[in-house]
């Protein structure tokens, strides 16, 4: 039997090429360790290292770093030098090969970090002359291609500055999230949804699809059309409670996962978890949250942001002035974040007009009409649940004015009652579920508010 080996994919070839980078770096660390300890290297080390270096040069010439073109403009790529590739490999090493992290840290004990410092970089790259060192520093200035494009980050102060990979570099070259732990202050939503479960008017659905297109194509526009870096989008979802704002974010995360072939996470943020009464703490918490999200395939959703977006009052003292500055900082920081952010509000009329300009998309979620409510009942009742013949969803949708969220609660409640009863969802179960939903608050509810269902409610009491 003749069994042919499968043809390697482009991704597999690029991964193999990068394995040569890590093998070469392993030998560079081994040489540095031997110099520190006085240990002898094996006799074949020099020949092996020379061969590895030659192979790395060949794979680079063949395009081993070509993944960068997925998100980085051609103008930036043309400016990259072989030394830039060395610097990116060194910065990526503790992430690409976690076992390198303690080795790098032990080789630079004065820094106490696994991120390579400039002195260690100089040693590994064997830079001796003032001209060589000046050339290294020039490649790491804030306006250099590596730093300005976000591929590398320089942290610390002279002479203890270190190189860290930018989130975009980790995402492109390693095809993974820069961080594995959840962002501080945010909760992961595990719900998933599809477009056919989202009952909204056509204009609203069109805007939501445009949100997805923005996220999917923002990097390609930079690569193919030379567009400036496209962030976000920063979107405002406006509508009464229960109109589908949060579920729409769930659908978008699901859709982006299907369209990009990579999982997308949806993180929900409670503003109370990051806002602080202490000066500077709110900004610090927000920066930590958004820094953790950089480079991730993730949507950040901030529910009930009415307090954040409300019209600013008159400044009567330092506290008012700081509160206004704090809100402005938060919105500006959301705007600068490279990933998608969704803020939801129940009262768009209360949003300060000065804040609206910061949003790329403002999506209105209307209260469902009779037809939409009937469609919601159809979607939200369990699809395999038996339904009594006298249950007409069109009539039910017109009988009681409920929001989508309230219909979701009532549909689940009715299903539970029916399952515990005879196994068929009937009007008495639905009447009881709707009544329970309407009487949640303290107002007096009259049976006439549920129309023809009132007679079935009386039968259950």
Q: What is the pLDDT of residues 189-213, one digit of tens each?
A: 888 999 998 999 999 999 999 999 9
> Which strands, in side-by-side order, build the sheet including 265-269?
186-189, 265-269, 298-302, 341-345, 234-239, 361-365
**364, 236 in Cβ contact below 8 A?**
no
Q: DSSP string covering 250-293, please? A: HHHHHHHHHHHSS--EEEEE-GGGT--SSTTHHHHHHHHHHHHH
Per-residue pLDDT band at 3 (split at 50, 70, 90): very low
Count other Cβ atoms within 10 Å, centred on residue 403. 20
Average pLDDT over residues 332-360: 83
In the chain, what percentage of residues exceed pLDDT 90?
Answer: 47
Residue 171: predicted pLDDT: 87
pLDDT above 50: residue 4: no
Q: Beta 162-165 vs 298-302: how paired, if at all? A: unpaired
Are 242 and 344 in contact by the 8 Å Cβ rule? The answer is no
CATH class of 370-456: mainly alpha
Write down the architecture of domain 186-364 according to CATH. Answer: 3-Layer(aba) Sandwich (3.40)
| Global confidence as pTM | 0.76
pLDDT confidence bin for 329, thresholds 50/70/90: confident
CB 80 within 8 A of CB 58: no
Please check the confidence at residue 314 and state whether its pLDDT lies above 90: no
In which band, very low, low, confident or very high, does the pLDDT at 6 lie, cut at 50, 70 and 90?
very low
Task: Assign 5 a pLDDT band (cuts: 50, 70, 90).
Answer: very low
Which residues in the chain are classed under CATH 3.40.50.300? 186-364
Per-residue pLDDT at 423 exceeds 80: yes
Total Cβ atoms within 10 A of residue 351? 21
Buried/exposed 279-295: b ≥16 CB within 10 Å, e otherwise: eeebbebbeebbebbbb
User: What is the C-alpha separation between 413 and 430, in angstroms, rounded?
Assistant: 8
| CA angle, 71 then 76 then 77, to 5° | 75
pLDDT of residue 372: 92
**CATH code 1.10.8.60 region(s) in the chain:** 370-456
What local confidence, expressed as pLDDT, does residue 308 receive?
Answer: 66
Please state whether beta strands 152-155 and 186-189 pair in parallel, antiparallel, or not at all (unpaired). unpaired
The model's pLDDT over 274-294, given as tens digits with 9 standing for 90+, comes to 776 666 677 788 888 888 888
Give the rounded distance of the alpha carbon of 439 from its chain centre.
38
Coil, helix or strand at residue 299: strand
Whether the per-residue pLDDT at 247 is higher than 80: the answer is: yes
- Calculate the alpha carbon distances from 365 to 32, 97, 239, 306, 397 in Å: 61, 47, 5, 15, 18
Question: How many CA atoms does the CB half-sphere of 378 hold within 13 Å?
Answer: 15
- For residue 91, the SS3 value is helix
The pLDDT score that the predictor gives to residue 34 is 93
C-alpha 429/C-alpha 388 separation (Å) is 11
Tens digit of pLDDT for each residue in 34-85? 999 988 888 899 999 999 999 999 999 988 888 888 778 778 888 999 999 9
Q: What would you measure as the largest C-alpha separation in the chain, in angstroms?
A: 94
What is the distance between the alpha carbons of residues 120 and 108, in angstroms, rounded to a whole number? 7
pLDDT at 325 over 70: no
Please name the residues in contact with 323: beta carbons below 8 A apart, sequence gap of 6 or more: none
Would you say 261 and 388 are in contact if contact means Cβ atoms under 8 Å apart? no
Give me the helix-helix angle, 370-380 and 404-420, nearest 10°. 40
DSSP3 helix / strand / coil % (the chain, rounded to 5): 55, 10, 35
pLDDT above 90 for 115: yes
Q: Do 411 and 250 meet the contact criterion of CB atoms below 8 Å apart?
A: no
Those residues whose C-beta lies under 8 Å from the C-beta of residue 364, and which sit 6 or more positions away, are 204, 238, 239, 348
pLDDT at 326: 66
**In the predicted model, is pLDDT for residue 100 greater than 60?**
yes
């Amino acid at each position: 039997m003749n069994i042919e080996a499968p043809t390697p994919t482009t991704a597999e070839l690029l991964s193999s090429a990068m394995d040569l980078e890590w093998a070469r770096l392993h030998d560079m660390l081994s040489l540095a360790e031997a110099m520190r300890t006085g240990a002898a290297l094996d006799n074949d080390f020099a020949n092996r290292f020379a061969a590895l270096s030659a192979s790395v040069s060949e794979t680079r010439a063949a395009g081993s770093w070509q993944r960068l073109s997925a998100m980085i403009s051609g103008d930036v790529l043309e400016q990259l030098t072989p030394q830039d590739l060395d610097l990116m490999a060194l910065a990526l090493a503790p992430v690409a090969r976690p076992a390198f992290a303690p080795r790098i840290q032990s080789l630079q004990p004065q820094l106490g970090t696994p991120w390579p410092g400039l002195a260690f970089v100089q040693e590994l790259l064997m830079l001796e002359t003032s001209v060589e060192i000046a050339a290294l520093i020039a490649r790491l200035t804030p306006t250099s291609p590596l730093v300005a494009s976000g591929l590398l980050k320089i942290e610390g102060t002279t002479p203890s500055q270190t190189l860290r990979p930018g989130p975009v570099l980790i995402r492109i070259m390693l095809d993974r999230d820069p961080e594995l732990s959840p962002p501080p202050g945010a909760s992961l939503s595990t719900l998933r949804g599809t477009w056919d479960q989202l009952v909204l008017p056509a204009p609203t659905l069109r805007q939501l699809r445009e949100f997805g297109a923005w996220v999917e194509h923002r990097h390609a526009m930079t690569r193919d059309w030379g567009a400036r870096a496209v962030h976000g989008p920063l979107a405002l979802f406006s509508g009464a409670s229960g109109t589908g704002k949060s579920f729409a974010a769930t659908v978008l995360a699901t859709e982006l996962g299907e369209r990009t072939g990579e999982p997308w996470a949806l993180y929900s943020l409670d503003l109370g978890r990051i806002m602080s009464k202490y000066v500077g703490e709110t900004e610090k918490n927000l920066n930590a949250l958004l820094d953790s999200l950089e480079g991730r395939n993730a949507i950040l959703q901030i529910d009930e942001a009415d307090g954040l977006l409300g019209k600013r009052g008159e400044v009567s003292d330092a506290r008012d002035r700081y509160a206004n500055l704090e809100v402005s900082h938060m919105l500006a920081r959301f705007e600068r974040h490279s990933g998608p952010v969704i803020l939801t509000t129940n009262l768009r009329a209360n949003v300060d007009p000065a804040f609206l300009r910061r949003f790329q998309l403002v999506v209105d979620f209307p209260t469902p009409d009779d037809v939409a409510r009937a469609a919601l009942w159809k979607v939200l009742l369990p699809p395999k649940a038996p339904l009594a013949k006298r249950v007409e969803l069109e009539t039910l949708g017109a009988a009681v004015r409920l929001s989508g969220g309230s219909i979701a609660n009532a549909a689940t409640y009715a299903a539970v009652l029916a399952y515990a009863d005879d196994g068929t969802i009937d009007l008495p179960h639905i009447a009881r579920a709707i009544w329970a939903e309407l009487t949640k608050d303290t107002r007096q509810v009259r049976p006439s508010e549920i129309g023809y269902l009132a007679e079935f409610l009386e039968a259950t009491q």
